[in-house]
Each structure stands twice: as C-alpha cells, then as structure tokens.
A and B are shown apart, each in its own frame.
Chain A
Amino acid sequence: MTLLSVRNLRVSFPTRQGTFEAVRGISFDLGRERLGVVGESGSGKSMTGRAILGLVRPPGIVTADRMELEGQPILNLPEGRMRRIRGRRISMVMQDPKFSLNPVMTIGDQIVEAYRLHAGGAKPAARQKALEMLRAVQIRDPERVMGAYPHEVSGGMGQRIMIAMMLAPDPEILIADEPTSALDVSVRTEVLNIMDRLVRDRGMGLIFISHDLNLVAQFCDRVLIMYAGRIVETLAAKDLHQARHPYTQGLLNSLPRLDAPVDRLPVLQRQDSWREGDTITQSLETEFPGGL
C-alpha cells in the first residue's frame, strides 16, 4: 500500500545569481518499507525530507505535480492543517542530537510535549508513555533521564531519545535524516537496530537518508541514489552491487571492500551528463511496489 506518493518534486531558492534548484524533479512512492536515500553532500536529500514536511522556509519554493499522503494532497497545505500532519503522521529524526534537542528543557518535558500535542490526555499518562518510549529505545534508567537535560546524556543516548520522542505520537512515516552520522560505529548499529525494530513493529514507512551506501544496503529494502537534486538510480538494496549508473558504481568502488582489497581507492570522476538524463530503474515493480 502506498503511504506517500511524490511526483516531480522541486525545491528552488532565488539567489543573486538566479534560481538555484536544490531538488530538481524527483518522483518516488513509499510503502510500509524502509527506503534509503543516498547521495553526496549537497545532493538535496535533506531538502527532500523538509519539503515533505512543509518545512522549507521562505524564500525557498516547493512545487510538485503530486505530493500525497495516503491519497490526500499535502503540498502547500495551510500551516494549521500541515501542523496536524507533522509529528502525528509524518515525523523526522534529525542528524545531531547535540543541537536537535532544546538545551534548557528536560528530556521528559520534550517527549511529553511531542506526545500530548497529538494524543492529548493528562500529564501523568503522558509521562507514563514517555517512560515506556524511553524503555523501548533501551534507556536503562528512564526515570533519571526524564529529569535530565540534553547535555547530561551521551550522543548515543541523545539519538535514542530523539527516536523515542519522534515515535511517541505513533506516526505513519518516519524520515530519518542521517540519524547516526554523529555516532561511533558500535553505538550506530545499536541505534539502527532499535529504530529498525520499532519501525517494523508499527508497520511504518521509513525514509532513511544517509551518505553511507554500505549502511543503507544492509538496512533498507530499497535505495534511491541522488545526484545534484535528481534521482539517478533506484534499485532494491540486495541488487546494489549490480548497479548500472556510473555514479552508483563509482560510489561502490570508492568504498573499501574486504573481499577485494586494493592499494588505492579510486576517486570518483564526476561527469556533467549525470546531472541530466533519466532515472535508471531496476524494474518498475521495485520502484513502485504498489503499481502505478
């Protein structure tokens, strides 16, 4: 079933040198699956996520032929209606917990706020829910963490708190924007596993943004490869090593591999032709699982 359907999404910014298009006409569908979005820095991954949530600030302009959440158009909705979608139906986990949590509010208050905004109810019930969420992300002493401030927890804990907070109102779609890039490798796996389990248990759709191709291949069902604001290739994660687009191949070749060690990793040679041209699709079935 298709949760989110996007056609020809564009995000542009007027600048002194003319209009800059950060996202240049991308289309995809998201079902109850884990969809990876991979691309180098500046390729428009975060802008895509923000555009879906209606959080591109002026002077940025968002256009699309279609942007639907379960069949309901959500493009350029009035703020009031968009607010009922944010957090409640689509949520987002951000990159760095150090800067993404309010430094002068207790963690408990921040989770309770996210939950009560959509579920309502009394404070004690919301507190119970927050504790439950903290336990679900394997925080060992949730009672203490509830009263702690963000600077008093580690980066890995912060990221799990962020996940707990964004999942508390039980959204249908979670956008995770490089949720683990600030973490070291051992913590990263732990956080990813927690997120994976929660997303799977709740039957949510996940958009997982990353520049780490290996990680995405392990963790996702399907991958979109972005380059300069476009999707250059889309394929099933298990088929990643049969990628046909030279950019994807380049990304793969520039990763160290245990099974084929080389003295020096090749440097990606970018080509102008990648900026334009069609999306390479493995099969229509994998790109649009629900059919078109």
Chain B
Amino acid sequence: MPPAPNGRAAARRRRARSIGGTVLSLVLTLLGLLLVTFIIGRVMPIDPVLKVVGDRATQAQYDAAYQAMGLDQPLYIQFARYLGDVVTGDFGRSISTGQLVVDDIKRVFPATVELATLGTLIGVLIGVPLGVIAAARRGGVVDQVARVVALVGYSMPIFWLGLMGLLVFYGILGWVGGPGRQGIIYDGMIPTVTGLILVDSLIAGDWGAFKDAFSHIILPASLLGYFSLAYISRMTRSFMLEQLSAEYITTARVKGLSERAVIWRHAFRNIRIPLITVIALSFGSLLEGSVLTEIIFSWPGLGQYITKSLLAGDMNAVLGGTVVVGTCFVALNLLSDILYRVLDPRSK
C-alpha cells in the first residue's frame, strides 16, 4: 500500500527544508571562520606592507604598496575582497617560501591527511572493539586494561612518547624508518597523483617505495592512533553501556540470542550513529592537532607548515592553512550529519 502521493511530497519538502537548514548553517559557520581569520590578519602586530616591500623601501614605495594591497579601503570592502579571494582559492603568496599559499597547501596537506587517516584507522580498528568488550564485560580484565590504556593516552605528553618511540623502534631496534615521509633513495621517485605516498606508490606499482613509506608512517600514525584509540574506546564504552541497559536488549535475550548477537547485532547497531560523529571529530582533531607529532617526526605536513609560517610572521600562509583546517572540520561535521540521516531510520 503506497502512502498517499501528497504525503510523500510533504516528506520530501520536509527533508529538503532540513537539508537547506544544514547548508545554511554550514555557510554561516564558514563565514564566521573567515571573519575571524580576517580580523586576526588585521590585528596582528605584523605590518604586511613592510613584509612585501622590505624595511629599506622609501615612503613613496611603501604608500604605493599600501594602496595596491587595498589597505586604504574601508574594512568591509577589504573583507569582501578577502572573501572573493578565498572563494577563488587565492590566499596570496607565502613570504617564506615565495610560492602561492595554495600550492604550498596542496603539497603539505596530503601528508597530514595520510597521517591522520592512518591514525584514525588504528584508533577505530582497536578502539571500537576495545570499548565494546569493555562495556560487555564491565569491571572485567579487558575493562580495567582499557581504562588504564585510555588514561595513559590522555595523560602522556605526545612529544615524550614520540621521542621514546623514535629512540626505541628506530634508534635501538631499527624496526621502523626514521623521521620524514620517505627514505632518501625514494625521495621524489614516485609521481604525485593523490599526494598520499602510500597510495601513489601502489599506483606506480613500486612495492619497495610502499614499504619504505609504510615504515616511515607507522610510528607517528600509531602514536596518533593511540590518542584517537583512547578517546574512541571511552566513548564506545559509554555508548554501549547506555544501550545494554535498554529494554530491547532484554527482549533480545528473551529470544534466546547468544551474547555475541545481543551485543553486536542489537546494541552495536544502535551506537553506530553516534560513533560516526565521534570518529569524524577525532579525525578532525588529528588533522589540526598533530603539530607536535609532525615536528618530532619531521613530517612535512600542514601543522608543521602553519607553525613554521607563524614563527616567520608569514600571515598569508598561517591564515590560509587555518581556513583549510576549519573548512575540513565543517565538512566532517556535515558528512557525519548526512550519514546520520542515512543510517538512522528515525530521521527519515
């Protein structure tokens, strides 16, 4: 029995409106982000004109550059111009590298994405089962171990763990590659397609390069994965505990289902949806928060790029990088929102 056609149309309208609302809030968030980066760019005690003309320029040269950069215009016009630039992908030129900021970001961002992706993968593949088992055997051995693992993950300084990891696994045992993304012999040998070296080396069919890249990424990725695991396993555990006390779980047990089916088929199915948000947020925080890891492992990623630029007073690069990270965060939120709608039957 198909529902009345006008009922279906109404449902479609409702859904369109709710998606419209999401997009609108997305645009507003991005606008807010750009406003903040714009203001930071103006209030920083760094004279952008001086950075361009150098400190030996004459007053006339200085004034000319000042006007050319539009700094004599009212602020709202400057902001409108800034918006226009950003939308067309123009973040200006980096003073320290002399390249367009966009090109710099295209080069460094894939390194960060590769690291964060592998880190999140480790966090999910270990953290989710760990959280589920900890909740299912509450107070048991696994629960206690998971608690300690998460506590250590929360409280250890990452630079210390990173240095120790390098010392032990690279310095003493020699199991992994050292700092950087690649060994010297493979540097620049793999044609860039995606910018993710693991993927590109597979595309090129170069097994040796893949193994080399893997041996370099595995230690920093495990480190990030550990932090992501600490967070994801705790959240999974508390989501699971909430579901396991629900009435429908008793129903499943009354049916005579095995404990495994009760946990995975019934309870876990109900936490997939909030878990997606947690994983997306964790991934987002690895994208922006792996600065220390990138520095310790000389990882040529966005975190390192932004930090170096900041220290050099290179505001175009800093703001460009910030906009990219912020946009990623917003996009991840949107993605988890969409998946939520697709997976939760109650949202249809």
Contacts and interface: CB of A to CB of B under 8 A. Distances in A.
A100 B251 contact: yes
A106 B254 CA distance: 18
A84 B256 contact: yes
A101 B246 CA distance: 10
B257 interface: yes
B264 to A, nearest CB: 12
A166 B256 contact: no
A206 interface: no
B253 A86 contact: yes
B340 to A, nearest CB: 12
Given A99-B246, A99-B248, A103-B270, A87 B258 contact: no
B266 interface: yes
Contacts of A114: 255
Contact of A79 (B259, B269, B270): B259
A105 B247 contact: no
A22 B251 CA distance: 21
A13 interface: no
Contacts of A103: 248, 270, 345-346
A88 B254 contact: no
Contacts of B257: 83, 87, 113, 117
B254 A102 contact: no
Interface string A12-33: 0000000000000000000000
B1 interface: yes
Interface string B266-299: 1001100100000000000000000000000000
B247 A99 contact: yes
A92 B255 CA distance: 8
Nearest to A106: B345
A149 interface: yes
A85 B256 contact: yes
Contacts of A105: 266, 269
B266 to A, nearest CB: 5
Interface in A52-84: 53, 55, 79, 83-84
A149 B273 CA distance: 16
Contacts of A144: 1
Nearest to B345: A149
B239 to A, nearest CB: 13
A141 interface: yes
Contacts of A143: 1
B67 interface: no
Contacts of A113: 255, 257, 265
A151 interface: yes
B346 A151 contact: yes
A105 B266 CA distance: 8
Interface in A77-132: 79, 83-88, 91-92, 94-96, 99-106, 113-114, 117-118
Contacts of A117: 255-257
Interface range on chain B: under 10, 10 to 19, 20 to 34, or 35 or more? 20 to 34
B256 A86 contact: yes
Interface string A189-200: 000000000000
A102 B252 contact: yes
A226 to B, nearest CB: 21
B188 to A, nearest CB: 49
B250 interface: yes
Contacts of B251: 94, 100-102, 162
Contacts of B270: 102-104
B271 to A, nearest CB: 10
Nearest to B271: A104
A118 B256 contact: yes
B250 A149 contact: no
B260 to A, nearest CB: 11
Contacts of B250: 55, 94, 100
B344 interface: yes
B220 to A, nearest CB: 37
Nearest to A53: B254
Nearest to B248: A102
Among B247, B251, B266, chain A packs the most CB atoms within 10 A around the CB of B251
Q: Which among B1, B256, B258, B345 has the greatest number of chain A C-beta atoms within 10 A?
A: B256
Contacts of B346: 103-104, 149, 151
Given A99-B246, A99-B248, A104 B255 contact: no
A86 B1 CA distance: 36
A107 to B, nearest CB: 11
30 contacts: A53-B254, A55-B254, A83-B258, A85-B256, A86-B253, A86-B254, A86-B256, A87-B255, A87-B257, A91-B254, A91-B255, A94-B247, A94-B251, A99-B247, A101-B251, A102-B248, A102-B266, A102-B270, A104-B269, A104-B270, A104-B273, A105-B266, A106-B345, A113-B257, A114-B255, A118-B256, A143-B1, A151-B345, A165-B255, A166-B255
Q: Closest 6 interchain pairs by CB?
A: A87-B256, A86-B256, A99-B247, A149-B345, A87-B255, A102-B248
Interface of A: 53, 55, 79, 83-88, 91-92, 94-96, 99-106, 113-114, 117-118, 141, 143-144, 149, 151, 162, 165-166
Given A104-B345, A113-B265, 7 more contacts: A91-B255, A94-B254, A96-B247, A100-B247, A102-B251, A102-B252, A149-B346
